[in-house]
Amino acid sequence: PSPAAHVAQAQRPPSRSPETANVVAMAAAAAASGGGPKGTSPAGGSPIEGISSVVVHPLVMLSVTDHYKRVAMNTKKRVVGMLLGHSHKGRVDVVNSFAVPFAEDPTDPKVWFLDHFYLDKMYKMFRKVAIKEKLIGFYSTGPDVKAADIGIDELLRSKGVAHPVFVVIDVRPHVEGMPVQTYATREVMTDARVVERQFEHLPNEIGASETEEVAVEHLLREVNDPSVSELGAALSAKVEGLRGLESRLVEIASYLDDVASGTLPLNREIVDNVQTMLALLPNLSVAELSESLQRETNDMHLAMMLSSLVRAVIGLHDLASNRIKYRHLDAAGEAVDDDETDAAAKAEDESKEAGKASSSK
């Protein structure tokens, strides 16, 4: 479970009719790519309600981005829609989606509205086209998970979706890293012995069918810059990985501070995972380890210096070869320049003499 999972807690209501659950909703917000967990869940974690991984297809990401640009571009609002797909042996494939009318009160996160009548009509229409695609969850552009998402999860459960999947897609162009985060809810018992349903992170990946792969390749031809070297791409990937590591460390520190201050309840499984992670860190105070790291760093810097010197020598050699090869053109160019200068001076003298003759007359 991620530390941000407790942020999305909502107390389970006693019992209410499906009509009330479909129309009214309460609560706001879930975990986002900016503030929520990134990447995959810890290895070895138990699947949430039989879901081991979620595969999001490119068509879904394109549809969500188009939905956001049409409805909430240049605003602080988010958009919500439904996800269609299928599951097999714990793997959930999200292959399609459609938008639904959604609104929430920015001042009161417990007030929101989702048109479930529109949802039912659209789902019936999609079933006529692709009968194998079933309603498996919902999406949001976040970038944060809100309490209303717990209510939407309950709404889908009331419509027969056994294990709804929640996908947060960050459509902000300046955000680097994985733009997709996936969640599912699980019932937990709090310290106050109250049963609550909370979001927990699921492993996810971007997958595509053969047709989608061809389309993505065509898109990449328009987006990728062939002038960018592979070294630059590798460095960008390393920088992106370091930023992701930094965000995780900041999130862990923030969670521990909130637990210490009493803002969030203590989750012993999270604390055990953090303790295990810290115990696996290498002891950098060992002389042999620090010496080997320093030796490897020096070797890398030496290789970089030698490659820079070789590149500079080769560049100077090419410059000298070009000067020798094309020196006859330089000589011819200088001769042409001298002839043009003499002709210009002669023409200027003739014009001066003609002026003097006309003035004397």
Mean pLDDT within 79-93: 91
Does residue 144 share a domain with residue 51? yes
Domain end residue (candidates: 223, 252, 274): 223
Q: Cβ distance 71 to 99 under 8 Å?
A: yes
Do 219 and 320 lie in a common domain? no
Q: How many CB atoms lie within 10 A of CB 336?
A: 10
Confidence (pLDDT) at 337: 61
Structural domain ending residue among the three candidates 206, 223, 240: 223
The tens digit of pLDDT for each residue in 201-247 reads: 898 888 888 888 888 777 777 666 655 567 777 888 888 888 888 98
Whole-angstrom distance between the N-terminal and C-terminal Cα of the chain?
107
Domain identity same for 202 and 292? no
Same domain, 42 and 121: yes
Quick check: is 72 in a domain? yes
Residues 27, 109 contacting (CB under 8 angstroms): yes
Question: Quick one: how far is CA 302 from the chain centroid?
Answer: 35
Side-chain-facing half-sphere of 9: CA atoms under 13 Å? 18
In a shared domain, residues 63 and 175: yes
Looking at the structure, tell me whether residues 197 and 301 fall in a common domain.
no
As a whole number, mean pLDDT of residues 329-357 equals: 67
- The pLDDT of residue 13 is 35
Whether residue 40 contacts residue 55, with contact meaning beta carbons closer than 8 Å, is answered with no
* CA separation, residue 87 to residues 50, 90, 95 (Å): 10, 7, 11
In a domain? residue 281: no
pLDDT digits (tens, 9 = 90+) for 119-138: 999 999 999 998 889 999 99
62 with 210, same domain: the answer is yes
Q: Among 18-22, 78-82, 287-291, which is the least confidently predicted range?
A: 18-22
| Pairwise pLDDT comparison (343 vs 250), residue with the higher score | 250
If asked whether residues 114 and 200 sit together in one domain, one would say yes
Q: pLDDT tens across 271-307, in order?
A: 999 999 988 887 777 788 888 888 999 999 999 999 9
What residues have CB less than 8 Å from 152, skipping those under 6 apart? 25, 80, 114, 138, 166
Is 96 domain-assigned?
yes
Is residue 198 a contact partner of residue 27, using CB atoms and an 8 Å limit?
no
214 in any annotated domain: yes
303 assigned to some structural domain: yes
Q: What is the pLDDT of residues 50-73, one digit of tens each?
A: 788 899 998 898 899 999 999 988
Both 83 and 185 in one domain: the answer is yes
Average pLDDT, the chain: 78
Q: Give pLDDT, residue 17.
A: 34
Asked whether residue 270 is assigned to any structural domain, the reply reads: no
Q: Is 36 within the bounds of a domain?
A: yes
Asked if the peptide bond before residue 179 counts as cis, ω within 30 degrees of 0, the response is: no
- 340 and 207 within one domain: no
158 with 293, same domain: the answer is no
Q: What is the CATH number of the domain that holds 21?
A: 3.40.140.10
User: Same structural domain for residues 216 and 309?
Assistant: no
The tally of domains found in the chain comes to 2
Q: Is the pLDDT of residue 316 over 50?
A: yes
Q: What is the sign, positive or negative, of the torsion defined by CA atoms of 24, 195, 80, 174? A: positive
Q: CA 257, 258, 259 angle in degrees (round to 5)?
A: 90
Containing structural domain, residue 299: 288-348
Q: Does the pLDDT at position 21 exceed 60?
A: no
Residue of 126, 104, 106 lying closest to 114 (CA atoms): 104
Residue 263 lies inside a defined structural domain of this protein: no
Q: Which of 173, 203, 223 is the last residue of a domain?
A: 223
Q: Distances in Å between the alpha carbon of 354 and those of 343, 344, 346, 348?
A: 17, 16, 12, 10
